[in-house]
Amino acid sequence: MTKAKDPPKRRPAAAKSAKTSRTANAIPAADTETRILDAARVVFTRAGTAGARMQDIAREAGVNQALLHYYFRSKQALADRVFREAVTTLLAALPGVIRQDAPLEELFRSFVRTYIDTVRKTPFLPAYMAAEAHHNPERVVAVIESITGTDPHDKSPQLLRKVQALIDSRVAAGEMRPIRAEHLMVNTMSLLAFPFVARSILGSVYAMDDAAFDRFLDERRDELPRFLLNAMRP
Amino acid sequence: MTKAKDPPKRRPAAAKSAKTSRTANAIPAADTETRILDAARVVFTRAGTAGARMQDIAREAGVNQALLHYYFRSKQALADRVFREAVTTLLAALPGVIRQDAPLEELFRSFVRTYIDTVRKTPFLPAYMAAEAHHNPERVVAVIESITGTDPHDKSPQLLRKVQALIDSRVAAGEMRPIRAEHLMVNTMSLLAFPFVARSILGSVYAMDDAAFDRFLDERRDELPRFLLNAMRP
DNA sequence: TCAGAAGAATTAACTGAATAGTTAAACTTG
DNA sequence: CAAGTTTAACTATTCAGTTAATTCTTCTGA
């Protein structure tokens, strides 16, 4: 495809005195690479990898199109970079370690709060990731593998067994009713992620603007732990 | 954009005797228009409108690329047709009339069964629709409006109030705990739709193949009504 | 302290490939 | 043969990526 030379990229010279003219765009002139990446994030998350145009990213960043290639070599490379960041952010929205002895109520609340509070800052990421994952499933495995350093194919059954063991001990203690780990995990993720995935639909069909969606999320921070806890009562 | 002539399309002559040669493709030769539409459905739902190529659709249908334009005028028109069908199918997956006096258990069960049993026949539709809706939100309103004949902006608050009234009466009867209609509806749709939207992720990360997903759905038909009913206990 | 060289950053203009869409002729069938 | 259908070959456009020249920044040494 593209030539196999080593990357032409060098670290841009440290500082940059006040930009004199920024093409019809009075942005405080951040680092160019950063501006491109920000622009790419906007355009890719809105239009998807296939729907995005390099020209649109360049315009959004207020730079020449050649600069995108100068800094990121190819559309694919730029898209991969943005996608990888998105996955990283979304993985970070799940509490990494959970206190196994904490009351159920606290567990659910911690999950809900961490997720909602993280993702609401970039509310279109889940829809973007879902779309990309649908159109290009292999990419997800590759990216997760390169982020976590482990093949999710190996790790996920392990996680599943661990969660199942946790559930089983709670069930034995009479704290919750039995359920398969798959379902509890999928149910939790469904309740957390779907409203974000369907954000556009809520917006266009239910006329839910940003403010209304924000209120909706505020309510949800309280509603969801209650909902989940109730659902799991013995 | 494209020229504004009236559509060149005519109804294809009724029948068609045995196709002699079908380009490296021994399909029983259905109606050409149908074959194209089937192919378009496959390609568009997999790759999305932006990612799909007319050439791929032509190949999948086993016809010349010019035929796609002969029957459907433009890529956009074909894409719209496929998207409209998808929305129609997904709307049909929601029980239209609900028996308002039925026990809660039956209501939830009917919702879950209708949705799962309908959508499992075309398990990639929700992911496709979510992706398209995300990349092109206005399209959803337009299509729903043209299908139902009413602006969803007008109809959705009405539905919301109706559901809220139903909830309130059940709450008064001591059958369920109070909840805002928005949340109950979003929660239900989340639990139903998300596993389909995340189908690719379940497949690639959790190595869930078609058979495993089918079993998962079978379990879910029983698990979800229980989960929802429990969650709503007073 | 400043000329000017070296290299990094940026641009306008271009190229080539992919791809949607068109046309005109050939084929099929009632 | 006539209307509808199908095809091969073509055109036009869009778009990722390249090139070569230009401007900006930093550094060197007299």
Tens of pLDDT, residues A75-123: 999 999 999 999 999 999 999 888 888 999 999 999 999 999 999 999 9
Mutation test of the interface with chain A: which of B87, B128, B187, B202, choosing the one with the most A Cβ atoms within 10 A?
A: B187
Q: Percentage of residues in chain A with pLDDT exceeding 90?
A: 83
What pLDDT does residue A4 have? Answer: 29
What pLDDT digit, counting tens, does each position of A169-181 carry? 999 999 999 999 9
Q: Which of residues 35-74 of A touch strand C (CB under 7 A)?
A: 63-67, 70
**What confidence category does residue A29 fall into, taking pLDDT thresholds of 50, 70 and 90?**
low
Beta carbons of B152 and B144 less than 8 angstroms apart? yes
CA atoms of A143 and A214, how far apart (whole Å) = 30
Q: Is pLDDT above 90 for A37?
A: yes
Q: Is pLDDT above 50 for A20?
A: no
Report CA(A62)–C1'(C12) in Å, whole number.
15
For residue A192, give the nearest of A96, A84, A119 by alpha carbon. Answer: A119
What pLDDT does residue B96 have? Answer: 83
Report CA(A10)–C1'(C7) in Å, whole number.
11
Q: Is pLDDT above 50 for B8?
A: no
What pLDDT does residue B9 have? Answer: 35
Please state, as a whole number, how many other Cβ atoms lie within 10 Å of the Cβ of residue B159.
Answer: 13
For residue A133, give the nearest of B94, B138, B194, B213 by alpha carbon. Answer: B194
What pLDDT does residue B79 have? Answer: 98
Q: Is pLDDT above 90 for B29?
A: no
**HSE-CB for B194 with a 13 A CA cutoff:** 25
CA atoms of B85 and A182, how far apart (whole Å) = 31
Q: Is pLDDT above 60 for B6?
A: no
Helix, strand or coil, per DSSP, at residue A194: helix
Which nt is closest to the CA of A12, judged by C1'? C8
For residue A32, say whether its CB is under 7 Å from any atom of strand D: no
Q: Is pLDDT above 70 for B7?
A: no
B144 to chain A: closest CA residue: A205
For residue A3, say whether its CB is under 7 Å from any atom of strand D: yes
A-B CB pairs within 8 A amount to 174
What pLDDT digit, counting tens, does each position of B44-71 carry? 999 999 999 999 999 999 999 999 999 9
CA atoms of B163 and A83, how far apart (whole Å) = 39
Report CA(B195)–C1'(C30) in Å, whole number.
51
Q: Is pLDDT above 70 for A12?
A: no
Choose the closest CB to B137 out of A197, A204, A228.
A204
In this prediction, residues B140-158 reach a mean pLDDT of 92
Give the position of tokens 């979003």.
B186
For residue B160, say whether its CB is under 7 Å from any atom of strand C: no
Closest-CA distance of chain B to residue A160, Å: 9
Per residue in A137-157, is it b (16+ CB within 10 Å) or e — as a string? bebbbbbbbeeeeeebeeebe
Chain C footprint bases within 7 A of protein beta carbons: 7-13, 19-24, 28-30
Lowest mean pLDDT among A48-62, A141-155, B35-49, B170-184: A141-155
Mutation test of the interface with chain B: which of A128, A183, A189, choosing the one with the most B Cβ atoms within 10 A?
A: A183
- Write the single-letter amino acid at B205: V
**What confidence category does residue B97 fall into, taking pLDDT thresholds of 50, 70 and 90?**
confident
Report CA(A13)–C1'(C6) in Å, whole number.
13
What pLDDT does residue B19 have? Answer: 34
Q: Is pLDDT above 50 for A23?
A: no
Angle A210-232/A104-119 helices, nearest 10 degrees? 160
Which nt is closest to the CA of B21, judged by C1'? D6
Closest-CA distance of chain B to residue A27, Å: 26
Q: How far are the Cα atoms of A147, A164, A179, B45 from residue A169, in angstroms, in the given order?
A: 32, 9, 12, 42
Which chain B residues are within 8 Å of A195, Cβ to Cβ?
Answer: 186, 190
Mutation test of the interface with chain B: which of A108, A163, A187, A188, choosing the one with the most B Cβ atoms within 10 A?
A: A187
For residue B16, say whether its CB is under 7 Å from any atom of strand C: yes
In this prediction, residues B142-151 reach a mean pLDDT of 93
In this prediction, residues A195-204 reach a mean pLDDT of 96
Contact B134 A131 (CB under 8 A): yes
CA atoms of A39 and A37, how far apart (whole Å) = 5
Q: How far are the Cα atoms of A92, A146, B1 from residue A97, in angstroms, in the given order?
A: 11, 20, 55
Residue closest to D3 C1′ by Cα: B13
What pLDDT does residue A42 have? Answer: 98
What pLDDT does residue B102 have? Answer: 92
Report CA(A23)–C1'(C21) in Å, whole number.
35
